[in-house]
Amino acid sequence: MRKRWGKWLLIGLASYLVVLIITVPVRPVYSLLAKQLAPLKLQGVQGTLWDGRAATVHYDQIRVGSLNWNFALREILGGRFGFFFMNQDNHTQTSGIAGISLLGQTYMNNVNGFAPAANVYNMLSSYPLNVNGKVNYQLQQVRLADNWVQSIQGNMTWRNAAIRSPFAATLGTLELLLSTEQNNLQIQVSNQGGHLGIEGTITVHADKRIQTDLLLTPRKNANPNLVNVLRSFGKSDRSGRISIKYNGYI
């Protein structure tokens, strides 16, 4: 009997602590964690950890709309402290579950949304490309550790994909399949339509080193000047396809 009462007492205490934590006003909590969350910056923070909002969210210098969240009680059953979230503005919408496990690992599950391709590209790379189009993404799971993607499973679709500068090229609909292998981010690339056919893989290592193994097929409407530039970076076969292999840092 005592063991049974002890069990329920522990569950009651744990539940009380959870309620106590999640009803804390979020503004002072965010002030304490702002440096750790950088380059993510929230403005106009209101509410509690249970149910709160931020009027504006910036990732580095990129504005990505407002953010609303509420506590995901069912995540506790899996040993996680998680939140349902919704980020949106006129051009961007992202929803899913994000949080931290009892072991301290940051995670996201069932993330779905869309955003301008320029925003997505600028978040991921500093190489100066001016891109157009819209990216839809579905990420079943993401696990983060030491400022790196420890594991990921999902896909992205870049519609009306186009590069405007420093060279111009339309790429049609670009499909990216995301996974991880031996702590490296693997991106399987393919497309339909556009001036260039693209297929192959891009590997991003934890030290930000990039390896590419891509095969480009210039189509009849491809800009000859662009094709000549691409040939200078790779090797062409008899059919005109260009192999781009790179191993280094961008």
Q: Is the pLDDT of residue 20 over 80?
A: no
Per-residue pLDDT, 8: 65
Site of tokens 């292999």: 245
pLDDT digits over 50-88, tens only?
Answer: 899 999 999 888 888 999 999 898 888 888 889 999 999
- Give the whole-angstrom CA distance, residue 22 versus residue 114: 29
- Please list, in sequence order, all residues whose beta carbon lies within 8 angstroms of the beta carbon of residue 85, skipping any fewer than 6 positions away: 67, 68, 69, 94, 95, 96, 97, 98
Whether the CB-CB separation of 54 and 43 falls below 8 Å is answered with yes
* CA 141 from centroid of its chain's CA atoms: 10
What tokens appear for 96 in the block? 């899913």
pLDDT digits over 102-159, tens only?
Answer: 888 889 999 999 999 999 988 877 778 899 999 999 999 999 888 788 899 999 999 9
Residue 18's pLDDT band (boundaries 50, 70, 90)?
low
Rounded to two decimals, the pTM is 0.85
- All structural domains of the chain with their residue ranges: 1-96, 105-250
- Give the whole-angstrom CA distance, residue 131 versus residue 202: 18
Tell how strand 210-218 and strand 62-63 pair up: unpaired
